[in-house]
């Protein structure tokens, strides 16, 4: 075979191999993109692996998020709640943005697995009214809880004492509702400067316990009084009956009664 034909054959073979390689790479990229929810995409920002799902119309935390993600943006979606272990497969996550969603509840253990690395958690501008402090157990991240319709009570007070609030966010934690109407619309930290919700709750509980104990005590006393009066009435009727009997029969009845008693 002439040398020119051999060169052309080898060139054609290399070109076919190169095309096959490019097609494989393209198919791999397409498969990776298809695995992500619509509107979500990975990127790299400031040397950190980022996964963005902002404004993607999500109604739940997406699955198949790359487990080497450092920054996750799920803001401006329609996510209603955070289930247990929602982020357990993201051990390298440093920042988590869940702001501007419709979150009303956070299950205990929702952030399990993030305690060691997470630096910042944004839950602002959601619909949170009440969240147990256990939901943030062992979490060391700075947390933004502003712009939610919080119920100002002992549970919120315990939550605020548990989490490390992000700088400048405390003023945005405002009472959306409260047992005391004058607190509504005020910053929570301003309210608890004058009101200890947990102490008020403890006093209310103590009073309720005292009222309950008094009620039971009154019922027991009433029953004892009724029982004594009932027995006295029965004894009086029996004595009147004995008096109405003839003397001999009465003595016999009395003796029988005494014997029975003895």
Q: Which domain holds residue 226?
A: 196-233
Is the residue at 96 inside a domain?
yes
Residue 71 and residue 132 in one domain:
yes
Is the residue at 257 inside a domain?
no
Q: Is the pLDDT score of 17 beyond 60?
A: no
- Sheet of 95-97: strands edge to edge? 41-45, 48-52, 71-73, 95-97, 120-122, 142-144, 164-165
Which neighbouring-strand residues pair with 71? 50, 95
- Helices and strands: H and E segment counts in the chain: 5, 11
Residue 120 and residue 211 in one domain:
no
Is the residue at 56 inside a domain?
yes
pLDDT tens string 158-206 = 999 999 999 999 999 999 999 889 999 999 999 998 899 998 644 444 4
Residue 185 and residue 223 in one domain:
no
- If one counts the domains in the chain, the total is 2
pLDDT tens string 199-244 = 864 444 444 454 455 555 556 666 566 655 666 666 666 666 656 6
Residue 185, domain CATH: 3.80.10.10
* Span 113-135, average pLDDT: 95
| pTM for this predicted structure | 0.66
Residue 67 and residue 174 in one domain:
yes
Residue 191 and residue 213 in one domain:
no
Is the residue at 22 inside a domain?
no
Residue 215 and residue 179 in one domain:
no
pLDDT at 207: 47
């Amino acid at each position: 075979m002439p040398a020119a034909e051999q060169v052309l054959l080898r060139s054609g073979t290399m070109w076919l191999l190169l095309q096959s390689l490019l097609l494989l790479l393209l198919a791999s990229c397409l498969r990776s993109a298809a695995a992500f929810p619509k509107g979500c995409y990975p990127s790299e920002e400031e040397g950190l692996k980022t996964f963005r799902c902002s404004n993607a119309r999500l109604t739940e935390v997406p699955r198949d998020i790359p487990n080497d993600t450092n920054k996750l943006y799920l803001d401006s979606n329609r996510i209603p709640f955070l289930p247990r272990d929602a982020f357990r497969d993201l051990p390298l996550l440093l920042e988590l943005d869940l702001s501007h969603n419709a979150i009303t509840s956070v299950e205990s253990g929702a952030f399990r697995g993030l305690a060691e690395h997470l630096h910042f958690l944004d839950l602002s501008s959601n619909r949170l009214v009440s969240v147990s402090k256990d939901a943030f157990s062992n979490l060391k991240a700075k947390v933004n809880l502003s712009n939610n319709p919080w119920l100002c009570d002992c549970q919120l007070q315990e939550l605020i004492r548990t989490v490390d609030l992000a700088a400048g966010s405390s003023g945005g934690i405002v009472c959306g509702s409260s047992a005391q109407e004058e607190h509504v619309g005020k910053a929570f930290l301003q309210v608890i400067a004058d009101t200890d919700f947990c102490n008020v709750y403890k006093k209310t509980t103590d009073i309720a316990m005292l009222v309950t104990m008094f009620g039971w005590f009154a019922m027991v006393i009433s029953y004892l009084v009724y029982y004594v009066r009932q027995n006295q009435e029965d004894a009086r009727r029996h004595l009147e009956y004995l008096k109405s009997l003839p003397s001999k029969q009465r003595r016999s009845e009395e003796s029988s009664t005494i014997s029975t008693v003895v």
